[in-house]
Amino acid sequence: MFLLCGALWVLSSQENEDEKPLDISLNSITNVLERNDAGEATIIEHFKHNHYLTLSDKIRDYGNKCCDGCMLLISDSFYYCSECEFFLHKACAELPKMKKSIWTHFSQLATLFLTSDNIFRCEICDFLSNGFAYKCNECGRHTCLRCQAIPPDALSCPGHEHPLLYYYDFVGRCSACGLDVKRVFSCKDCNYSVDPLCMLLPTRVSHKCDEHLLALCYHNIHDYSKHHYCDICERKRDPKRWFYHCTTCDTSAHVKCILGEYPFIKTGSIYKEGDHPHPLTFVKKIKHYPECTKCGEPCKELALECAEPECNYLVHWKCLNPYSPGYGFLRRKDF
């Protein structure tokens, strides 16, 4: 199991002037129960959770937990539930319940509503997720919280010294993954371009291959060819492409080997669909790999497990949803 943290920009609580919540009824915080001396809401009710949420800045204590909104590792002030494993970045909790269509969505006159559908596929990044999303009331498509934060103008990238501008008709390759791309964030001063999907890569991840967090690296830190290998698949890495690295253990790995197919589906969460009579829970089996009830193969990847102790029902997510594959990283070439 792994968790993720931080896109290349921070989900900011600052909204555009026309997107600022006008009152508590439009804010996803439905009720403020307590405030501190600085006026911050310290205990709240959120319209997508049944229990009270408490504000905290103890990232060191909860840094391995995942925000149920953006599905990234806790990296900033956050709200947590004392009764269950539910966490929300403060910025995610303060998002409005509805907003005008964002620039990445083609139905520009539609209204987007904040939702937490059981499983959705983001129309921008193509990831499956069970976090929060904005759902279009016109076409029904979802935009995850990471993608709704993409700015329409210049943005900064830690791997490059100049600001990057968005281009719709670019012809060339992405500097992060090496693929041919048409729409990119590109530098007008030099030959450096990054496609939107790579711009959304988490800056820190936790993976079973290493006991420490791995950081996203934008250039190779070693000159020797013997270091240009992935410690997960043991295949060569292109030293010009982005990868994840642990400085303590000197672990390096391909982006796709770290993320896998389902990086934004939270394990332990309940699956509410399907024909099985009991509640099912998302799990990732690491040891002993029991067999899938449907195909009989070992459950090494994302699976659903029956919550009833006397029921041995366990099924691959792919077997239960054969027409709902994970994100296209595994359909892209190695990088």
Please count the CA atoms within 13 angstroms of the CA of 145 that sit on its side-chain side.
31
CA pair distance 271, 313, nearest whole angstrom: 14
Q: Is the pLDDT of residue 28 over 90?
A: no
3-state helix, strand, coil in the chain (%, to 5): 10, 30, 60
- The predicted pLDDT at position 266 comes to 86
Instruction: Give the pLDDT band (50/70/90) at residue 37.
Output: very high
Q: What is the pLDDT of residues 109-161, one digit of tens each?
A: 667 788 887 788 888 777 889 899 999 888 888 989 988 877 766 677 777 88
Q: Which of 112, 118, 108 is nearest to 140 (CA)?
A: 112
Q: Which of 156, 185, 151, 188 is nearest to 168 (CA)?
A: 185
CA pair distance 213, 246, nearest whole angstrom: 7
Sign of the Cα pseudo-torsion (231, 233, 235, 241, in order): negative
pTM above 0.85, yes or no: no
Contacts of 277-284 with C-beta under 8 Å, sequence gap 24+, read 278/306, 278/307, 278/308, 278/311, 278/313, 279/306, 279/307, 279/308, 280/304, 280/305, 280/306, 280/307, 280/313, 281/305, 281/306, 281/307, 282/130, 282/317, 283/314, 284/1
Q: Is the pLDDT of residue 197 over 70?
A: yes
- The predicted pLDDT at position 333 comes to 41
In DSSP terms, which residues pair with 220 in a beta bridge?
Answer: none
Instruction: Give the pLDDT band (50/70/90) at residue 330.
Output: very low
Question: What average pLDDT does this structure show over 184-192?
Answer: 85
- The predicted pLDDT at position 106 comes to 66
Token couple for 243: 């990868």
Q: Which of 110, 100, 95 is nearest to 48 (CA)?
A: 95
CA pair distance 148, 201, nearest whole angstrom: 14
Q: Which of 66, 77, 68, 65 is nearest to 46 (CA)?
A: 68
Instruction: Give the pLDDT band (50/70/90) at residue 334.
Output: very low
The architecture that CATH gives domain 270-320 is 2-Layer Sandwich (3.30)
Q: What is the pLDDT of residues 253-305, one digit of tens each?
A: 999 899 888 888 888 888 877 788 888 989 886 667 888 998 998 887 889 99
Contact assessment for residue 305 and residue 280, using Cβ atoms and an 8 Å cutoff: yes
Q: Where are the domains of the chain?
A: 10-93, 165-199, 207-259, 270-320
- The predicted pLDDT at position 253 comes to 93
CA pair distance 257, 157, nearest whole angstrom: 22
Q: What is the pLDDT of residues 304-326, one digit of tens each?
A: 999 888 898 999 988 887 656 55
Residue type, 257: C
Token couple for 126: 């193509």
Instruction: Give the pLDDT band (50/70/90) at residue 331.
Output: very low
